[in-house]
Amino acid sequence: MSIKYGLRGVVALESDISRIDGVKGILEYRGYNIHDLAQHTSFEEVVFLLLKGHLPTNSELTEFSKELAERRELPEKIIGVLYNLPTISYPTVILRTMYSYLGDLDDKIFMINPQESLRKAIDLIAKTPTIIAYYQNIRENKHLTHPNKKLGHAANFLWMLNGVEPDIIDERALDLDLILHAEHTLNASTFAARIAASTLSDMYAGVVSATGTLFGPLHGGASQKVIEMLRQLKEKNSKEIEEWVDNKLQTGEKIMGFGHRVYKTMDPRVEELRKAAKQLDAVKSNNWLALSDELAEIVYRKKSIYSNVDFYATSIYANLGIPDDQFINMFIMGRIVGWIAHMMDQYQNNKLIRPLQKYVGEENRVFTQINER
């Protein structure tokens, strides 16, 4: 019995949701190149595409965006729970808990037909930014800034977070980030969501499972580690940064924000994120981009490793004033779309996901009673 540790190279299922060519650096959603989507669509269009399989017409997008906007507000019971949770809790733990409670409040939680699945999908996608922003309002001892139906998904989140309408550069930077994080084939958290769906568990359970999986530092948790690293390097000069990199490489320590399990060339999302980071940096004057570029150049020169999607996303989040410990939730705000698209696909084409293991322990051991051991 051959073993593929980490399931590396194992093809577990068929999907028409997204495609990666790691050698050529290609990412497609439903057959559309990520560069085209990043440059010419909104997050709402991409949500529609991933959930329904085709790009919307003007009228379809208007109706869909309206429905998303109308679903943003949270039930009073959820708001009450948020006010009673510790303000020192990690925000992703709070988000995971609220997903579970949303399921408890849904009287059709166990219905997984396409119509009900789409209703739940829109509800979860619409309410995720509100949960994140409300908890941030509460922990900062502010009044809740309620959703603004006139604003798009990204702009509304920044409005709820900061209490002021964002300018077009801020809005577009976050909108782009959400598009680029929305889907990425069978990554660990998406696989966790599909495993839950394969048991015919409810959508909320799948999202909770995926959230817990993405929380790990080898997945979505990397983004906060990147900004912590950049803050550490910000006061260093070029020579000191290079010495820092040399020390990391010599000791075999991981440099956060570099390398990818699938891509053997530059991640196509990085190019688009860097453009947004450059625009933001020019306005905010925080110099995150210059530092990021310098570090990326040194690491590539010494190790031939490309930066990944976490690397420039952190510069965007920092320039938007998003707290460091909310970075994972930014990832979730986008990736929940992919999770749900995969769960809906699993429900419709289901086979229980149940891989094998190779047993390497002892066999045929002689049992002894407890008083004889």
Within 10 angstroms of residue 245's Cβ, the number of other Cβ atoms is 18
DSSP H helices in the chain = 34-40, 43-52, 58-70, 76-84, 91-105, 114-139, 153-162, 168-181, 188-198, 203-214, 222-233, 238-251, 268-284, 288-303, 309-319, 327-348
Tokens of residue 200, six digits: 């015919």
| Rounded Cα–Cα distance for residues 247 and 82 (Å) | 43
| Given the residues 181, 184, 219, 260, the one annotated as active site | 260
| Rounded Cα–Cα distance for residues 194 and 350 (Å) | 9
What Å distances lie between residue 167 and 130, 155, 164, 170, 287, CA to CA?
A: 20, 8, 9, 6, 20
| Given the residues 170, 281, 310, 345, the one annotated as active site | 310
Tokens of residue 166, six digits: 């964002």
Q: What is the DSSP letter of 370?
A: G
Tokens of residue 282, six digits: 């020019």
| Rounded Cα–Cα distance for residues 282 and 292 (Å) | 14
**Can you tell me whether residue 292 is helix, strand or coil?**
helix
> Is position 324 annotated as part of the catalytic site?
no
> Is position 260 annotated as part of the catalytic site?
yes
**What residues are annotated to the active site?**
260, 310
